[in-house]
Chains A and B, each alone.
Chain A
Amino acid sequence: MATTITMPQLGETVTEGTVAQWLKKPGDSIEKYESFVEVSTDKVNAEVPSPVSGVLREIICKEGETVATGAPIAIIDEVGAAAEPTAVPAAAPAVQAVEAPRRNGAPLTNGATPNSAETLRRVSPAVRRLAREHVVDLSMVLGTGHNGRITANDVIAAASAGPSAVMAATIMLEPVATPTLTPAKPPASTPVAPPPDAARSTYAAPIPGTLVPLSPARKTIAQRMVESLATAPHAWTMVEVDVTNLWAWRAKAKDRFAQDKGHALTLLPFFIHAVVASLKKQPLLNSRFTAEGIYVEKNYNIGIAIGMESNLVVPVIREADSLSISGIAIAAGKLIDKARAGKLSMDDLGGGTFTVNNTGANGSVLSKPIINGGQAAIVTMEAIVKRPVVINDAIAIRSMMNVCLSLDHRVIDGTASNAFLSDLKKRLEAMGPSGEL
């Protein structure tokens, strides 16, 4: 018997998934519960276990394809069952092969959205020839065929609609085709001067850029950032924190810690520990705005923003209020390791109530973070910089760190945010080598 495997729903709100990698080829045998495909949704990469033992008969959804949850992605023949003949008549394969869903779900408008490489790779001989004959840029043609395929008639329609803007610009560049740049009545003996180079640069067609396709993660990030900025009026404030003593403490403890616990001791766990304590004093910062009212969280689940090469993930340290600095360091270390390996699960990512962003890790001294949707504020720890600071009318060299806060002004006003920041500042400045990890 054949079992059709569908795109799993990884997370309640997830509506689509992308096949990141097939771990099995058609013809490979698969044990029940054995991972056979890696699927990425939102920000999670998950390996999907097989519901049956059998042989992978057919891969329906190719690597890189995004389909709705519940859509078929593969067929597995269960062990002991002979492969059934395919129901499609033998004439079909050629047609079938091109029925793969389009990568870009958004409808094209003529000349607006360039076609994907996938669409362009599959043009028919007639389309290729007509495009060449009519000098039509296929990336700008609206496909009206099956699954958005560009048909021969589409090319002819595009050709009769006239050359595209880029084409027109290119044609204008041809020296012989620029009568306006030619003197109206050149003396017969004087050869016509070529158009001045200045004119060329003025009207130069832009060098075409490249289009980086949106990964599922990038799509999600884009959507959430826009949503957050559009719904939460962001206010911003900053304090300077003297972390000289804290820095000394961390320097003293870090080697031993790494040796004992197997994780690096950065400034982050100290910071989170202080943040959680300050949040407890200002519970409004650990809340979210809803239509019914401000929902104040009782959990202190701290999201930590981790920048990846092309991606941003915010795994969550759960119940951070129950953890020591050391406990936070270990929890954070584990999450960072998982993030780098692309192994974060939905559980690692959900449920954050407040976010800490270590922007200083990349040298930033001041930033204006966007609040993570469903939270009331986000705080950054900027780079530690040695600066001359006036203490008791004397100038001293101190390790200074800026701490920036973006807040949802629907929830929090200056009073609460300033109370939070000055409490946090006090706590951080009070931390020193005599403290307990």
Chain B
Amino acid sequence: MAVAATDTTVMNNVDAVRTTLYEALKNDERTLILGEDVGARGNVFLITKGFIEEFGPERIIDTPLAEASIVGIAIGMAMEGLRPIAEIQFADFIYPAFNQIVGEAAKTRYRSNGDYTCPLVIRTPYGGGVRGALSHSVSIEALFYHVPGLKIVAPSYPADMKGLLNAAIDDADPVLFLEHKKTYRLVKGEVPNGHYTIPIGKADIKHAGDRLTVVSYGLYVHQAVEAAKRLAGEGLSVEVIDLRSIRPMDGTTILASVRKTRKLLIIHEDNKFGGIGAEISAMVAEEAFFDLDAPIRRLCGPDVPAMGYAAPLEEEFMISTDRMAEAMRELVLF
């Protein structure tokens, strides 16, 4: 069934997701996609373009604008043996499905005492910096990472997109698959051909260094790597860890790095209060207190209700590479 992963192809994140979905549909008849505009429109980012023609409306299902139903129906399909991949058109629209995700999907295995699992993937584009304003910019990971029984994945490199999406589809339990929309066409990279998986819950060091650990995910990983390269030019060595999976979180990789560098900077777009960085810093403070040589620092989005549409407001919200480099420099030299 699976094609051996031999060669690679350079592609962007949209193509990586598209290829993975296509191969999944091709390789496993239980796989199906449901969501708003995934059929005739081929998804707003053209990820599923041409799928409905090839796989038919029974496997590529255009749904009403009803997110609770999209997820609820997908849960039923998953419990009965299908491999649904539900799409929430923008993460900003996921709130109606909150109860289905948190109250149902995440608890299916526990509630049925293991009789049922819920092999469901919920894909959704998130994040800002694209002039998306109030309803097309939100980060939702912190709303869900509190929930046991739910896996959250947020890769941002094409090869990680494919490997983790495959792992999410293969997983027996629900996975929230977050795709940063600004990286869709901005980021290109080599992607192995054929089927392969990257284990969920495993972070990846995207830039090695020894004087500061930076943990990030999504769009900001790319900027953090760029900032780390700049600092390398100044002789300041920074390690950038791409979390890739938000839950389960790869504490092993983070702690090993912090024990080496003794300093930690967490960067994420989601707002600071109660964000992913709060959990990482708590874990490091608990596990590596006597290795810390500087206060843990978080560089996060502001605690405001939404990202503004006006360019200055959006720029204020988003963290520039310059700001990242400055924060890194301060901590390295602390």
Contacts and interface: CB of A to CB of B under 8 A. Distances in A.
B293 A151 contact: yes
Contact of B333 (A94, A126, A129, A146): A146
B88 interface: no
Given A95-B334, A145-B333, A124 B294 contact: yes
B262 A91 contact: no
Contact of A91 (B272, B290, B293): B272
A152 interface: yes
A91 B298 contact: yes
A125 B292 contact: yes
Given A90-B272, A91-B297, A146 B334 contact: yes
B250 interface: no
Interface string B153-183: 0000000000000000000000000000000
B198 to A, nearest CB: 30
B334 A125 contact: no
Interface residues of A, number: 18
Contacts of A149: 334
Interface string B283-309: 000000111111111111011000000
A98 B331 CA distance: 12
B187 interface: no
Contacts of B272: 90-91
B140 interface: no
Identify which of B272, B290, B299 gathers the most chain A CB atoms within 10 Å of its CB: B290
B292 A91 contact: no
Interface string A89-104: 1111011001000000
A126 B297 contact: no
Contacts of B7: none
Contacts of A95: 294-295, 297, 330-331, 334
A152 to B, nearest CB: 4
A149 B327 CA distance: 18
A129 B290 contact: yes
Interface in A121-168: 124-129, 145-146, 149, 151-152
Contact of B291 (A125, A146, A151): A125
Given A90-B272, A91-B327, A145-B333, A124 B293 contact: yes
A389 B331 CA distance: 78
A90 to B, nearest CB: 6
A126 B262 CA distance: 7
Contacts of A91: 272, 297-300, 327
Contacts of A89: 299
Contacts of B292: 124-126
Nearest to A154: B293
A141 to B, nearest CB: 13
Contacts of B299: 89, 91
A125 B286 CA distance: 12
A94 B295 contact: yes
Contacts of B302: 90
Q: Which 6 A-B pairs have the closest CB atoms?
A: A94-B295, A152-B293, A126-B293, A129-B290, A124-B293, A146-B334
Interface of B: 262, 272, 289-300, 302-303, 327, 330-331, 333-334
Given A95-B297, A95-B334, 12 more contacts: A89-B299, A90-B272, A91-B272, A95-B331, A98-B295, A98-B334, A124-B262, A125-B289, A127-B293, A145-B333, A145-B334, A151-B334
19 contacts: A90-B272, A95-B294, A95-B295, A95-B334, A124-B292, A125-B289, A125-B290, A125-B292, A125-B293, A126-B262, A126-B290, A126-B291, A126-B293, A127-B293, A145-B333, A145-B334, A146-B334, A151-B334, A152-B262
